[in-house]
Structure 1
Amino acid sequence: MPEESTQPIAPAEATPAAAATINEETNKRKNRGQTSKERREHARKRIMIRNQERQKEEEQPRERSESSEPRRPKRKVALLIGFCGSGYQGMQVNPNAKTIEGELFKALCQAGAVSAENSTDQGKIQLQRAARTDKGVHAAGQVVSLKMIVEEPDIISKLNKHLPAQIRAWDFVRVVRSFNAKTACDSRVYEYMLPTYVFMPPSEKCMEVAKNVKFDERQVPETTEEEIRAKREYRVSAEMLEYVRKAFEKYQGTHDYRNFTVTKGCTANNSKRHIHWFTVSDPMIIQGCEWLSLKVKGQSFMLHQIRKMVGLIILMARTNVPLRLIDVIFDCARINVPKAPGLGLLLERPVFDGYNRRVSSQKLATSNQVTFEPYQKEIDAFKQKYIYDNITETEMKEAVFDIWVKNTEVFPEQYLYINQDCVIPESTLVVPGEESIRPPPQSIGKDKDALSSEDEEDTKDD
């Protein structure tokens, strides 16, 4: 078999000097005893050749197709939006998923705020959200930073024409070129709408099923019309309301929230979070049912953190467990805290106090403060029609919270840490990365992920 030729083949477009250099360097590679000086010289020449080739390419005139649109300048902006998350699989764009970002990017392209050249990849316009929201979660105020074409004065009106009614753009604000909605955001304010009947004592019917039926054979019993009526007519007592308020206040400050998120990617080094405040409103009657508005402000939140914070307090309040259990859970090994339904959760607004102070102090001519205040009247009307009404009507039709509560009663094994002694049984501990005890899929009913401790979602902060 003949030997392969060792003579290098110079590129067709290479100059004679470049070809000679390549030949010389190829011969040098045959000798493995190169000195450091020779290797440095070799690297220098390779860089020089690449630079020459790159310069030659850049000097070639670019051909513009007849159908190509004229280039229009883009500006870095903070786009202020709101949305009802029902029917969407979260905020962040995902392949083959219906998401808020996907809908928004499509509308931006259709409205002319994004050029056709950049319409295939939202990374080209540096699109970044201030906070991620899960499947079905809403936002009265959300901020998206991007590079946008803003020449037309009615660009927001055009954008809204291409958006579904449940997604609205309030306005855009010019910002500095380095602005990133996620990193510039100081904190986030979330609201959770909660029907008070979830604090009713455990159902004897469900407890009988849990006690007498094998785990794999259990079925969540149907709620009768009489039981539904009793839940709708339930009114929280002053003592229960005081307990709930004190319980949510326990979250304030800096704590380790490793038990309030998924196990994947969560360690002792990245699970501490700071909560500024957590408030509970006075009860309000909506369509005959009593509700509470919970509001929390924190620097950032981990995946499912708020829903798990709410879920724990519901279980504790129903059995009047001592509040010190919360402190125990902050410090104990991994357990499964159930996440309350996503139906009640909404992002009220991201906060940009630090950035706004900088803009105000430096008096930047091309940048404005990022705030929702000028649009609050529109936002409140949208929130009532598309978010609050959606939450309450869905609950009235589907009894989402009733299903969630019954599942915790029929499958209590993983929640045995809800006890008067505040002791964490070994049987409730979860091995990170492994599934915890969970009910059979057919028993969950409408809220199929009611008791699931793990989800196939990313674990980045909101």
Structure 2
Amino acid sequence: MLKSLRNNYVLCIARRWSSSDATTDTAPALRRSKRIKTSRERREHFDAHSRKAEGEGNHIPFPTATQERRLPKKKVALYLGFNGTGYQGMQWNPTASSIEQTLFEALCKAGAVSSLNSTDPKKDPLIVKKINANLPEQIRVWGYTHVMGSFHAKNSCNAREYEYWLPTYTLMPRPPLSLRHCPKVIKPVREYPTDIRIASPSDGDTDAAGYIEPNSPEEFALKSSSYRIDAERLEKFKQAMSMFEGTHNFHNYTIARAYADPSAHRHMMKIQVSEQPTYYQGTEWLSVKLRGQSFMLHQIRKMLSMAMLAARSSSPLTIIDRSFEEKKINIPKAPALGLLLDRPLFQHYNQRIENRSDREPICFDQFQNEMKMFKQEWIYSEIFKSDKADQVFDNFMLMVDSQEGPAFKYINEHGVIPPESVISSKYQ
């Protein structure tokens, strides 16, 4: 799941946990007494559920009073959040360090998983604290909710809410070529590891056209700390993002999807840009929250990129409407650094159980304060620090501005896609 070690998630998974009254539940015993009515039936039941010692005729029964017994199962949804830095993905991988493996080990150490049944945590009012005590600080469990047996954390999710952070200097207008102090020299080969790759302008040519050097730390510091977005440009960016709301054909916002492919149609429920910027060490940042039924690969990053390119230029926002049409264009991917999954949503599941007194809806709002503090310490601050150290967004804008050829010429004052910007693809 993790495409970058800096991706972060708040999500819900399902486990089978034991009930709180497991040790006092007499129903199984009553059922057994009804089934086994005679001594013969009891002996047959005992024989079927015991084993003989090798070479002896004595029965060795299962488990003794001092041994751990199996407990009835209850299925729960586990709420958690994490920063994936240092891990090699979310899902269990026996050859890699994953979030799921670390979480499972913490469940075992906390006594939430029995040795007889590796998916039976004991219901304990302090179990969440015990689990967190065995987790690194970058992984937190918020709580859990008893769910129906048919619940599936992935399949029962009917919508997701993502958040994307971008520094406002990405919306700084690109200066005309005549006013640029020192245009970047494109080199045929990469001389330094920090050199930025510039894509080839030739259709179908996967080789790089060249490389450019990043801005110096002094240039970047001046740019990132001095720029402040004005109200007009912020409003244009908000309008650009709002044009993605509703159902559209997003074939240009992913890979390997044709315009005629029905799966390219996606529904964006709500997109909200923060009213006020956030500041970190002099740099101004904006937050964008996107709620949709489902998202395709790279879709959010390309949506943010298109909105950035349109808002920082004189291009009318109708270019976004044009991007939903049949013509295939190259929309660059905004950095993955700013993207995180804020929460999955389960409205359809919650509607199914709303009249059941023995089930609670799955909702993250009850952990809002804990999640906010965690994101500020382990998510947002890491995004801001990484951009400050690695100039991630500045390098992205530098790549776009230094691009040769017609690839991005659809960003123009007329809001039209010129023929030279249309790319050839087998996914037409």
Task: Normalising by structure 1, report the TM-score.
Answer: 0.67
Partner of 1:191, secondary structure, is strand
Distance in 1 between the 2:48 and 2:144 partners? 38
Is the Cα–Cα contact under 8 Å of residues 159 and 294 in structure 2 kept in the other structure? yes
CA apart distance, 1:326: 1.1
- 2:323 corresponds to which of 329, 333, 336: 329
The Cα of 1:267 is off from its aligned counterpart by: 6.8
Shift of 1:78: 0.9
Are positions 1:359 and 2:335 aligned together? no
Offset, 1:235: 0.5
Contact 2:408–2:421 at 8 Å: present in 1 too? no
2:334 alignment partner in structure 1: 340
Q: Is the 8 A contact 2:78 2:141 kept in 1?
A: yes
1:249 is aligned to 2:225:
no
**Is the aligned partner of 1:298 residue 2:281?**
no
Between Structure 1 and Structure 2, the one with more helix by share is 1
The answer to whether residue 402 in structure 2 is matched with residue 410 in structure 1 is yes
For residue 198 of structure 1, report the CA deviation from its aligned partner: 0.6
Once residues 266 and 155 of structure 1 are traced to their aligned partners in structure 2, the CA distance between those partners, rounded to angstroms, is: 50
Match of 1:315? 309
Equivalent residue for 1:77?
76
- Taking the aligned partners of 2:235 and 2:369, their CA distance within structure 1 comes to 32
C-alpha distance 76-307 of structure 1, shift in aligned 2 (>3 A): same
Q: Deviation at 1:148? A: 4.5
Return the alpha-carbon distance in structure 1 between the equivalents of residues 348 and 425 of structure 2. Answer: 39
Distance 1:432 1:205 in 2: 41
Conserved in 1, the CA contact under 8 Å of 2:329 and 2:422? yes
The corresponding residue for 1:137 is none
Pair 1:283–1:72, CA change in 2 (3 A): same
Please list the CA deviations of residues 280-323 of structure 1 after superposition, one character each: whole Å capped at 9, or x if unmatched: 11223222111111111111112221111111211222323221
Matched residue type, 2:136? P
Structure 2 partner of 1:33 = none
Residue 256 (structure 2) aligns with: 263
In structure 1, distance between residues paired with 2:322 and 2:305: 16
Q: How far apart, CA to CA, are the structure 2 residues paired with 1:249 and 1:412? A: 30
Cα shift readout 1:393-443 (whole Å, capped 9, x = no counterpart): 22222221111211222335443333334215456525358xxxxxxxxxx
- Tell me the distance in 2 between the aligned counterparts of 1:384 and 1:265: 39
Aligned partner (choices 141, 161, 164) of residue 189 of structure 1: 161
2:139 to 167, 171, 178: 167
Task: Tell me the amino acid that sits aligned with residue 263 of structure 2.
Answer: N
In the alignment, the residues of structure 1 paired with residue 307 and residue 221 of structure 2 have an alpha-carbon distance, to the nearest angstrom, of 22
Query: 2:129 aligned to 157, 182, 188, which one?
Result: 157
Aligned with 1:418: secondary structure?
coil
Q: Which moved more, 1:154-163 or 1:332-341?
A: 332-341
Amino acid at match of 2:137: A
Distance 1:260 1:86 in 2: 26
Q: Tell me the equivalent position of 1:400.
A: 392
Cross-structure match for 1:113:
112
Give how far 1:251 is off.
0.3
Partner deviation per Cα, 1:17-46 (whole Å, 9 max, x = no partner): xxxxxxxxxxxxxxxxxxxxxxxxxxxxxx
SS where residue 266 of structure 2 aligns? strand
Name the aligned partner's letter for residue 356 of structure 2: K
- Pairing of 1:422-441 with structure 2 (within 5 A): 422-426=416-420, 428-429=422-423, 431=425
Matched ranges for 1:197-212 at <5 A: 197-202=169-174, 204=180, 208-209=184-185
Provide the rounded CA distance (Å) in 2 between the counterparts of 1:329 and 1:339. 15
Aligned length: 347
- Give matches, 1:23-172, under 5 Å: 61=49, 70-94=69-93, 96-116=95-115, 148-172=120-144
Measure how far apart 1:102 and its partner are: 3.1
Residues 207 and 90 from structure 1, CA distance in 2 versus in 1: closer, same or farther, beyond 3 angstroms?
farther
When residues 72 and 94 of structure 1 are mapped into structure 2, their CA distance, relative to the original with a 3 A threshold, is same
Gaps of 5+ in 1: 1-58, 120-146, 434-462
1:248-303, CA deviations, whole angstroms, 9 ceiling, x for partnerless residues? 00000001112222327997121211111111112232221111111111111122
* Distance (Å, rounded) in 2 between the aligned partners of 1:198 and 1:341: 11
| 1:177 matches 2:149 | yes
- Name the SS of the counterpart of 1:319 in structure 2: coil
1:235 to 228, 236, 245: 228
Cα displacement (A) at 1:208: 4.8
TM-score normalized with structure 2 length: 0.72
What is the rounded CA distance, in whole Å, between the counterparts of 1:68 and 1:260 in structure 2?
Answer: 57
Which shows bigger deviation, 94-103 or 381-390?
94-103
Please give the secondary structure, in 2, of the residue aligned with 1:306. Answer: helix
Instruction: Assess, with a 3 A threshold, how the Cα gap between structure 1 residues 420 and 105 changes in structure 2: closer, same or farther.
Output: farther
Paired with 1:245 and 1:348, the residues of 2 have a C-alpha distance of 20
In 1, distance between residues paired with 2:248 and 2:112? Answer: 42
**C-alpha spacing 1:61/1:269, structure 2 compared with 1 (3 Å):** same
Maintained 8 Å contact 1:82/1:167: yes
8 Å CA contact 1:189, 1:297 repeated in 2: yes
**Rounded Cα–Cα distance in structure 2 between residues aligned with 1:103 and 1:428:** 47
CA gap 1:264/1:106 in 2 versus in 1, 3 angstroms: farther
Q: Does the 8 Å contact 2:245/2:267 carry over to 1?
A: yes
Which stretch has the larger CA shift, 334-343 or 92-101? Answer: 92-101
From 371, 379, 399, the equivalent of 2:363 is 371
RMSD: 3.2
Is the contact between residue 77 and residue 173 of structure 1 (CA under 8 Å) also seen in structure 2? yes
Q: 2:71 is matched by which residue type in structure 1?
A: R
User: In the superposition, relative to structure 1, how do residues 409 and 175 fare at CA in structure 2: closer, same or farther (>3 Å)?
Assistant: same
Q: State the percentage of identical aligned residues.
A: 42
Counterpart amino acid of residue 149 in structure 2: R
